[in-house]
Structure formats: structure tokens, C-alpha cells
Chains A and B, each alone.
Chain A
């Protein structure tokens, strides 16, 4: 056997707690990343681990693959994930989170899979595949994190929303730019609440995006 290996590292302008929330919000993969994932099911989880099933479409190769995934946190700065896919392949991933400041975190992905020695020539392709996958997902997550931080600083409460929006007579408050973002796991799930909430509920989408630009002042 031989090992195919890829590593990607980058910085994000967000609190570490927000990134950990994002990586542990397993249900968002079939929403935010709907182009790459068709289904996700949280089978079981506890505070620092999650066992799920995911149906993904691979980049480069026009096929769908179903994988069982187990993720856990040995500590607050490390997430380990194991994806058992077709042909007995086991993808091992480590996500390292390094807090560089209140709103600055470095994320490093180390990804490896063991294959028969004869397939060692696939190393360049594997690296390319992992890079492309990482950046495709990263870009979609960045927009999500940016919006999450914005509503968080406006006082957002999960499963409630913004108080000043819900209370029609309340004026909005100044954003709290220093609102702490604690690591709280597991992320609350909806899968067991909604019937059929596991799979993407549409075939195609006309995307309108995160919104139009602000109106000019005056």
C-alpha cells in the first residue's frame, strides 16, 4: 500500500468559534454546498463527534459517491474526519484551527488516503482533486461565515432570529463587533425534526445570491 497526501492551509478573518461552528454544522453541506452534495444524514452524534452519511458529486469525475463519515474533536484546535467510501477506500482528514487573533484563524487541512502501491502515480491527481474540492467548498463557506458573523454581531439567536426584527416596534441596535463567539458543540440539528430534511429538496436552482447592493444614500 502507499499513501496519497494533500495539504492546504489558509487564513480566514473570523473567530475560531465561528469556523468550528461551520465545520460542525454538518447539515449545511447539502444546503450551502448543494452543487457538490445531494444528501446528508446525521446518524448519531455527541458533543465532540458526529457519524453521518453523505452523498457527494466528485469534481473532475461525473459520478456520485456515498460515504459514511465519522468526525471528532480530540481538542478544540483539531477536527479529525474519516470518510469510508467505495472500494474500501478510507479518506482520513485533519483540520487544524490556529487562533491568530479575535477575528483571524488559520485553517490547515491534511488529507490522506491509502491505495495499492500500483496506484501511487495518482498522487498529482489526488492533490489537484483535494485542492479543487477545498477551494470550491471554502469559497461557499466564506460567504456563509461572513453573513453569520454579521447577524451574530447584530444579536442573532439560533432558532429565534433577531429580536428587533421579530419585535416590529423595536429599532435596530448598534452591532456588537466584540460579541464573543464561543465553541458550543454539538451544533443543534434539524434532521430529526423535519420529514425529508435530509436530501436537497430541488433539482435545479436559479440563484439570486446573497442580495443586491445597498441603495445609494440620499
Chain B
């Protein structure tokens, strides 16, 4: 049964507006974008680098390893167009952030 799992706390966004963490073998990049909390995969589909190593700037994440850039709006890679980050469904209850790592056919 697909379920939302805890991936962090809203208070962890206070420092930089984003954080990343491994949960259940998913590396999840959580960030605040236009007053909404969202979550992308933090694994660069190029070679596996950390997309959220640098603080997001100008609406773009820049992977540490090879500087591939990704849109914070869509997750689309702006450097190699065929690449895109997966977005996770997110819900927030009080201070806790949950993401749906595995989605089911019926919800």
C-alpha cells in the first residue's frame, strides 16, 4: 500500500530553504518554492551527483559534480534536455514533511 513517509521537518528549511536526505533508498531534495514545499529526487540522472549540494540560485539547482542545472519549477535539466528530476508528492502536517516515495495505481 503506497504511503507517505516522513522525510524531515519544516524547521529544517529555515536555514537555506532546502535540504536533502536519504530515506528508504531515495535521496530526496526538499525545498520551498514560491511558498510551496516540494520535493525532487536529489540524484542527478547524469552520474548520480547531489543536485542540492549548492543552495538554489535564480530558480536553478546546480549539481556539484558536473554543474548540470535543473529548473526548480519543473525539475527539467537545463544543460542536457533529455534529463529530468522526478518530483515526489508531498504533504505537510504541522512541522513534519512527508513524501510519497512509491505511488500506487489507486489513491
Instruction: Tell me the bound Cα distance from A202 to B41 in angstroms.
Output: 22
Q: List the B residue with the shortest CB-CB distance to A206.
A: B55
Report B-chain residues with C-beta under 8 Å of the C-beta of A27: 66
Q: In the complex where A201-B62, A205-B55, A215-B6 touch, is A148 in contact with B48 (Cβ < 8 A)?
A: yes
| Chain B residues touching A, range | 35 or more
Interface size class of A (residues with CB under 8 A): 35 or more
Q: Is the CB of A215 within 8 A of B23?
A: yes
**A residues within 8 A CB of B23?**
214-215
* Complex Cα gap A207–B20 (Å): 12
Bitwise interface map of A from 127 to 171 toward B, beta carbon under 8 Å scored 1, else 0: 000000000000000001001100110101011111011101111
Once the chains bind, are A212 and B21 in contact (CB under 8 Å)? yes
Decide if A209 touches B57 in the complex (CB within 8 Å). no
**Binding site of A, secondary structure by majority: helix, strand, loop or mixed?**
loop
Task: Confirm or deny: A193 has a beta carbon within 8 angstroms of a beta carbon on chain B.
Answer: yes
Smallest CB-CB separation from B7: which chain A residue?
A215
> Which of A28-36, A79-87, A112-120 is found at the contact surface with chain B?
A28-36
Beyond A31-B63, A31-B65, A144-B65, whether A190 also contacts B46 by CB under 8 A is yes
Chain A nearest Cβ from B1, distance in angstroms: 11
Q: Across the two chains, which residue of chain A brings its CB closest to B52?
A: A208
Nearest B residue (CB) for A170 = B102
Which residues of A lie under 8 Å from residue B67 when comparing CB positions?
Answer: 30-31, 34, 197, 200-201
The answer on a CB contact under 8 Å between B49 and A215 is no
Q: Please judge, given known A-B contacts A194-B80, A201-B62, A212-B20, whether A165 and B47 are in contact too, CB under 8 Å.
A: no
Interface of B is mostly: loop
Q: How far is the CA of A85 from the CA of B69 in the complex (A)?
A: 31
Chain B positions 1-33 with a Cβ under 8 Å from a chain A Cβ: 2, 6-8, 12, 16, 18-27
- Residue A172, interface by CB 8 Å: yes
Q: Is A210 in the interface zone, CB < 8 Å from B?
A: yes
| Residue A25 CB within 8 A of the other chain | yes
A169-B106 Cα distance, complex, nearest whole Å: 11
A: which residues have CB within 8 A of B? 25, 27-28, 30-32, 34, 144, 147-148, 151-152, 154, 156, 158-162, 164-166, 168-172, 175, 190, 193-194, 197, 200-202, 205-215
Residues of B in contact with A (beta carbons under 8 Å apart): 2, 6-8, 12, 16, 18-27, 41-50, 52-55, 57, 62-69, 79-80, 82-83, 86, 101-105
18 contacts between A and B (CB under 8 A): A25-B47, A28-B66, A148-B47, A148-B48, A159-B45, A161-B44, A164-B25, A165-B41, A169-B102, A169-B103, A194-B68, A197-B67, A202-B57, A202-B62, A207-B53, A208-B19, A208-B20, A214-B22
